[in-house]
Amino acid sequence: MAGVEKPVYYWSYLHLDQLLSAQQPLSDPPAHDELLFIVVHQAFELWFKQILFELDDVLAVMGREIVAEKDMGEVVARLMRITRIQRLLTDQIDVLETMTPLDFLEFRDVLIPASGFQSMQFRLIENKLGLDTGHRLRHKGMPYTSVLSDEHVEALEASELEPSLHDHLERWLRRTPFLSFGGFDFWRAYREAVKEMMARDRAVIETHPQLDAEGRAAALAEFEATLASFDAAFDANKWAELVRAGKRRLSHRAFLAALLINLYRDEPIFQLPFRFLTTLVDIDEGFTTWRQRHALLAHRMIGGRIGTGGTAGHEYLAAAARRHRVFTDLFDLPTFFIPRSALPPLPAEVAEHMGFRYGQA
């Protein structure tokens, strides 16, 4: 019989001696709010660690040659946990904003040249999600890795070579069934429904009583741009040109699969895939919101000054919020939606395969 193990003690299990001694303010004389600044940013990094843990699990599942439907529930659960963590990240900025700009000035200079830009974990999250390196803002004209240690640069460059969640999304969508409906040409029927919808939209613009000539012209120009988007959606070659130009990332087949999942989200077989796509959008939105709040915080704390890391302060952070998004093709999908009432009805045999079937013993 094995001996009784030493009981687990809460303090020791959490290594609180090490954790609570990791806050070492640098200001002299001590600035009261520096401890708050350290605690909040350490909390950010702890949550980044958890996000990476969840992402790695998702990448392992999505990287399989065949992703079983039952495993997608686990993937969605992991991603939804990330969205909850993102809310905490944003809420922590509320706590940081209890520090006033004058309070921050008491210790700001001792931070130079350190900056949140050097958060290796957050850059790793961006790479694992699939942020396009070509869309990254440069740091004073240099690559984002230029301000990091050699060890961190090596880890980040290695992560850029690994398949990202966006890469796995592309492959997963391309394997989606039901893009072909046998004898029923769904995409032709969908295109006819789009034509009718666009004709109604044009008529609304042309007859809208509250639009003057200038407003009508602007609305029609925007309408024509939307019409051009639909033309590309129906033409694989035009879509490929947009991909080559960097205006789209998903392949044409992957885009059609994502569109089909969203249009027929009510079909039982598409409900979990729809949640998956929606959660990816939620994650992109969550980090965009966090970046925007960070930009507002920087503006509030330092005004028009440069950041401690040498960037253009809040302007750089606001630009990153606009550009550092991953799943923009999923955000753009509603451009191609039509009302449920206008959706082409599915053939009976296709609808049967998309539903749940229960047979008698």
User: 302: domain CATH number?
Assistant: 1.20.58.480
Q: What are phi and psi of 184, to 5 degrees?
A: -90, 120
Residue 169: inside a domain, yes or no? Answer: yes
**Which residues fall within 8 angstroms of residue 173, CB to CB, at 6 or more apart?**
250, 253, 254, 255, 257, 258
**Residue 8: what are its φ and ψ, rounded to 5°?**
-75, 130
Label residue 115 by pLDDT band (50, 70, 90). confident
pLDDT at 59: 98
Is residue 248 very low, low, confident or very high in pLDDT (cuts 50, 70, 90)?
Answer: very high
H/E segment holding residue 214: helix 213-234
Q: Is the pTM of this model over 0.85?
A: yes
Confidence grade of residue 306 (pLDDT, cut at 50, 70, 90): low
Q: What CA–CA distance (Å, rounded) separates 67 from 255?
A: 19
CA dist 47 → 44, 53, 92, 94, 96 (Å): 5, 10, 11, 16, 16
Tokens for 66? 């065949």
The tally of domains found in the chain comes to 1
Residue 137 confidence (pLDDT)? 81
At 337-359, the pLDDT tens digits run 988 888 888 777 777 777 766 54
* Integer Cα distance of 118 and 152 in angstroms: 9
- Tokens coding 268: 């039982």
The dihedral built from the CA positions of residue 268, 270, 274 and 277, taken in this order, carries a sign that is positive
The pLDDT of residue 359: 47
In three-state form (DSSP H/G/I as H, E/B as E, the rest C), the secondary structure along 29-69 is: CCCCCHHHHHHHHHHHHHHHHHHHHHHHHHHHHHCCCCCCH
Instruction: Evaluate whether residue 306 is within a structural domain.
Output: yes
Confirm whether 207 is domain-assigned.
no
Q: State the pLDDT at residue 243.
A: 94
Residue with tokens 């040659």: 65
Structure-token pair, residue 2: 């094995």
Distance CA 285, CA 165 (A): 16
| Domain contains 14 | no
Domain with 91, as residue range(s), is 30-176+247-333+347-354
**246 φψ region: left (φ > 0), alpha (ψ -120 to 50), beta (else):** left
- Residue 26: pLDDT over 60: yes
Query: Backbone phi, then psi, for 15, in 5-degree steps?
Result: 50, 50
- Report the chain's terminal Cα–Cα distance, integer Å: 49
- DSSP letter string, 155-176: HHHHHHHS--HHHHHHHHHHT-
**What pLDDT shows up at residue 354?**
73
